[in-house]
């Protein structure tokens, strides 16, 4: 999944914004994934929006929201660099800023800009950044540079088995999808652990714990087959 993330980011190099900070990335969140952020984002600074877009394309908007540790839709401020930093740090992803690796999220310029590390070479971080000179472009920073504010490393080992959600119709009047029923049955069989471990494992996999647990309860009662 890390390789796909880097490939996707590299495929965007050269993309340039339209006048007024208008981008296809903000358009995605304002239409296809409306309410993923707290407000519409077309016209806003878009470096963090670009990072969020990458994860949404990689694993789907619902799972990306959970994977990145963002609040529920309408309360998600991850389009703001400092908020994205806070969310990722709460996930426990912060690492020493001199130990960056490809795929890490790099925060720059006193936490006012963000990109991703695509390569570490000759004592420098080579980056891919959205909204760098109004386009998606590479950057280069000495590892020891004060420009590097901090680095967060996504838990790629937790995302490797997570694919983009497959759209499916509700299977019953409760409105649950085939995938949700399948996951709930796995939970019932103990595959996600118990108690807090279950909550954490489901959340890390990108599922709504309360919703899945509700399905489990209905399975136990025989209300869902």
pLDDT digits (tens, 9 = 90+) for 1-40: 899 999 999 999 999 999 988 999 999 998 878 778 988 8
Q: How distant, in Å, are the alpha carbons of 163, 199, 208, 214, 216 from that of 211?
A: 19, 11, 5, 5, 9
pLDDT at residue 158, rounded to an integer: 83
Give the whole-angstrom CA distance, residue 71 versus residue 120: 32
Give the whole-angstrom CA distance, residue 22 versus residue 20: 5
pLDDT at residue 199, rounded to an integer: 86
Average pLDDT over residues 70-90: 90
Are 126 and 137 a contacting pair, CB within 8 Å? no
Query: Where in the chain are the domains?
Result: 2-158, 166-221
Architecture of domain 2-158: Alpha-Beta Complex (3.90)
Which has more confidence, 53 or 35?
Answer: 53
Average pLDDT over residues 46-75: 89
- 223 pLDDT band, cuts 50/70/90, is confident
Tens digit of each residue's pLDDT (9 = 90 or more) over 165-201? 433 344 454 667 777 788 889 899 898 889 888 888 7
> Pairing mode, if any, of strands 94-95 and 105-108?
unpaired
Q: Does position 49 have pLDDT exceeding 70, yes or no?
A: yes
Are 112 and 81 a contacting pair, CB within 8 Å? yes
């Amino acid at each position: 999944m890390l390789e796909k993330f880097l490939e996707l980011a590299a495929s965007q190099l050269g993309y340039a914004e339209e006048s007024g900070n208008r981008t296809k990335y903000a358009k995605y969140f304002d239409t296809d994934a409306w309410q993923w952020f707290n407000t519409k984002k077309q016209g806003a600074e878009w470096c963090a929006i670009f990072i969020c877009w990458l994860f949404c394309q990689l694993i789907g908007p619902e799972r990306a929201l959970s994977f990145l540790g963002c609040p529920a839709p309408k309360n998600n401020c991850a389009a703001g660099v400092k908020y994205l930093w806070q969310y990722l740090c709460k996930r426990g992803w912060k690492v020493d800023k001199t130990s960056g690796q490809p795929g890490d999220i790099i925060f720059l310029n006193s936490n006012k800009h963000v990109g991703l590390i695509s390569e570490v070479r000759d004592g420098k971080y080579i980056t891919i950044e959205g909204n760098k000179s109004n386009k998606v472009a590479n950057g280069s920073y000495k590892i020891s540079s004060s420009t590097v504010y901090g680095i967060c490393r996504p838990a790629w080992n937790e995302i490797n088995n997570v694919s983009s959600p497959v759209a499916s119709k509700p299977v019953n009047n409760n409105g649950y999808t085939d995938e949700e029923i399948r996951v709930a049955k796995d939970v019932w069989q103990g595959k996600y652990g118990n108690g807090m471990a279950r909550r954490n494992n489901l959340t890390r996999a990108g599922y709504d714990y309360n919703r899945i647990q509700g399905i489990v309860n209905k399975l136990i009662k025989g209300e869902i087959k």
